[in-house]
Amino acid sequence: MKTNDFLSILDNPNLISGIYNYCDRWCERCSMTARCSVFQTTPQLNPDDFANEEDFFKEVFKGVSESFQLTMELLQESADERGIDLTPSEEDDEWIEKRNRQKEETQNTSISLLAMEYLDLGKKWLDNSNDALKTLQEDLQSSALMDLPERNPEQEALALKDALEVIPYYLHQIYVKLLRAQEGREEDDAWFEENDFPKDSDGSAKVALIGIDNSIRAWEVMLQYLPIHEGDILTILSLLENLRRQVETTFPDARAFKRPGFDD
Ligand code: SF4
């Protein structure tokens, strides 16, 4: 995309500033695409339009690289106008070193370890659930054929499909958002408080909490349809409940955080 096209999209007064900062990035399910500059300036690619996965990801990375290039050009332009020198200095190296140390500490907090444990367990369960899901699919197909009055196979299939999309979608995001929330808390909360702004750490924690809430609901659906996996699913659910409690205790204001466009 050319700089002028990019800037003319951003000129739209209906766009909500910063809406993309605290969303879950699930654009396919988002009701705010028309008001989001990230969506409007990002090429929407459909994997089905490509011969194979490799071609698809090549195009995705090409788009990301072009967008990064454009952002850097605009940043440099703005820095030049303000007389700011963007050349890295020794202080930047010290800052990067300090930040890397903090990142390492954050990865070892109880919240991060719990989120990582959930990621591992959830992924393992999904990787090993093919047989159970196939049986479930066959069961739904036979109950559709039998037209049983107490069953609604179409609705059941939709509920399962939704749960099977929700669980993998949030698996990594919960961990990533919780890292960001904890790092932000250490580094930037004081600045947000001094300047009377809602804290970014609370916003990130809220997005993680939304992911946890949605995942809990999705696992409950799986539990309902796969009682044979009750042991594993209950372990995952209790882990997620524990994580939710810890996040709510560590970020008591997160639930009340107002995300631009979504909670206004
Ligand atoms: S606000 Fe909606 S459209 Fe924009 S990045 Fe987030 S999910 Fe996607």
Q: Residues 159-214: pLDDT tens digits?
A: 999 999 999 999 999 999 999 999 988 887 888 888 878 899 999 999 999 999 99
User: How many Å lie between the centroid of ligand 1 and the Cα of residue 254?
Assistant: 20
Tell how far the Cα of 67 is from the centroid of ligand 1, in angstroms.
16
Say what the pLDDT of residue 249 is: 98
The pTM score is 0.85
108 lies in the same domain as 236: yes
At 247 the pLDDT is: 98
Assess whether 121 and 64 both reside in one domain: no
CA of 178 to the centre of ligand 1 (A): 19
Of 54, 88, 122, which marks where a domain is finished? 88
Integer Cα distance of 21 and 44 in angstroms: 19
Report which of residues 83 and 207 the model is more confident about: 207
- Residue 87 is predicted with a pLDDT of 83
Cα separation, 36 vs 17, whole angstroms:
8
The answer to whether position 40 is within a domain reads yes
Ligand 1, from 25, 26, 177, 259: best to mutate by most atoms within 8 Å of Cβ? 25
Same domain as 143, residue 67: no
What percent of the chain shows pLDDT beyond 70?
Answer: 100
Q: Which letter does DSSP use for residue 16 in this model?
A: P
Are 186 and 107 within one domain? yes
Domain boundary among 26, 60, 88: 88
Q: State the pLDDT at residue 242.
A: 98
Residues 127 and 165 in one domain: yes
State which of 38, 177, 204, 206 you would mutate to test the pocket of ligand 1, scoring each by most atoms of that ligand within 8 A of its C-beta.
38
Residue 218: per-residue pLDDT: 98
Residue 176: how many other CB atoms lie within 10 Å: 15
259 domain residue, yes or no: no
Distance CA 214, CA 208 (A): 10
pLDDT band at 56 (very low <50, low <70, confident <90, very high): confident
Does the C-beta of 27 come closer than 6 Å to ligand 1? yes
pLDDT tens-digit series, residues 243-262: 999 999 999 999 999 999 99
123 has a pLDDT exceeding 90: yes
Whether 140 is covered by a domain: the verdict is yes
Structural contact between residues 239 and 121, judged by C-beta atoms closer than 8 angstroms: yes
> How many angstroms separate the alpha carbon of residue 126 from the centre of ligand 1?
26
Given 3-state DSSP classes, what are the helix, strand and coil percentages for the chain, each rounded to the nearest 5? 75, 0, 25
Tell me, yes or no, whether 257 lies in a domain.
no
The Cβ of residue 207 has, within 10 Å, a number of other Cβ atoms equal to 26
List the domain range (segments joined by +) for residue 20: 3-88
The reply to whether 134 and 236 lie within a common domain is yes
| Residue 115 or residue 98, greater confidence | 115
In this predicted structure, the answer to whether residue 216 has a pLDDT above a threshold of 90 is yes
Over residues 63-86, the mean pLDDT reads 85
Report the SS3 class of residue 117.
Answer: helix
Last residue of a domain, one of 88, 112, 144: 88
Q: How far is the CA of 19 from the centre of ligand 1 (A)?
A: 7
What pLDDT is stored for residue 74 in this prediction? 85
The pLDDT > 90 percentage for the chain reads 54
- Is residue 12 domain-resident? yes
Please compute the mean of the pLDDT values over residues 53-63 and round it to a whole number: 83
Statement: residue 84 has pLDDT above 80: yes
Quote the CA–CA distance of 137 and 160 in Å, as a whole number: 10
Ligand 1 centre to CA of 191 (Å) is 26
Quote the pLDDT of residue 99.
Answer: 85
Do 108 and 234 have their domain in common?
Answer: yes
Q: Is the CB of 23 under 6 A from ligand 1?
A: yes
Cα–Cα nearest to 128, from 228, 237, 26, 243: 228
DSSP state string for 133-146: HHHHHHHHHHHHHH
Q: For the ranges 52-56, 86-90, 155-159, 178-182, which has the lowest average pLDDT?
A: 86-90
Cβ-proximal residues to 154 (8 Å cutoff; 6+ apart), any chain: 144
Give which of 246, 264, 253, 262 is closest to 112, Cα–Cα.
246
- Same domain assignment for residues 141 and 69: no
Q: Is the domain of 193 the same as that of 84?
A: no
Is 256 within the bounds of a domain?
no
Mean of all residue pLDDT scores within the chain = 90
pLDDT value at position 200?
92
Q: DSSP assignment of 118-178, as one string?
A: HHHHHHHHHHT-HHHHHHHHHHHHHHHHHT-TT--HHHHHHHHHHHHHHHHHHHHHHHHHH
SS3 state of residue 199: coil
Determine the atom of ligand 1 nearest the C-alpha atom of 261: 1
Does the residue 213 lie in any domain? yes
26 alpha carbon – ligand 1 mean position (Å): 6
Ligand 1 pocket residue status of 19, Cβ below 6 Å: yes
C-alpha torsion 84→36→175→192, nearest 10: 50
Specify the amino acid at residue 30: C
Same domain, 24 and 119: no
Closest residue CA from atom 3 of ligand 1: 33
> Is the domain of 20 the same as that of 75?
yes
| 228 against 117, higher pLDDT | 117
How many domains would you assign to the chain?
2
Q: Is the pLDDT of residue 88 over 80?
A: no
74 lines ligand 1 (CB under 6 A): no
Residue 203 burial (CB count, 10 A):
25
Digit-coded pLDDT (tens) for 92-114? 888 888 888 888 999 999 999 99
Burial 108-139 (b: 16+ CB within 10 A, else e): eeebbebbbebbebbeebeeebeeeeeebeee
The whole-angstrom separation of Cα 223 and Cα 238 is 13
Same domain, yes or no, for 228 and 140?
A: yes
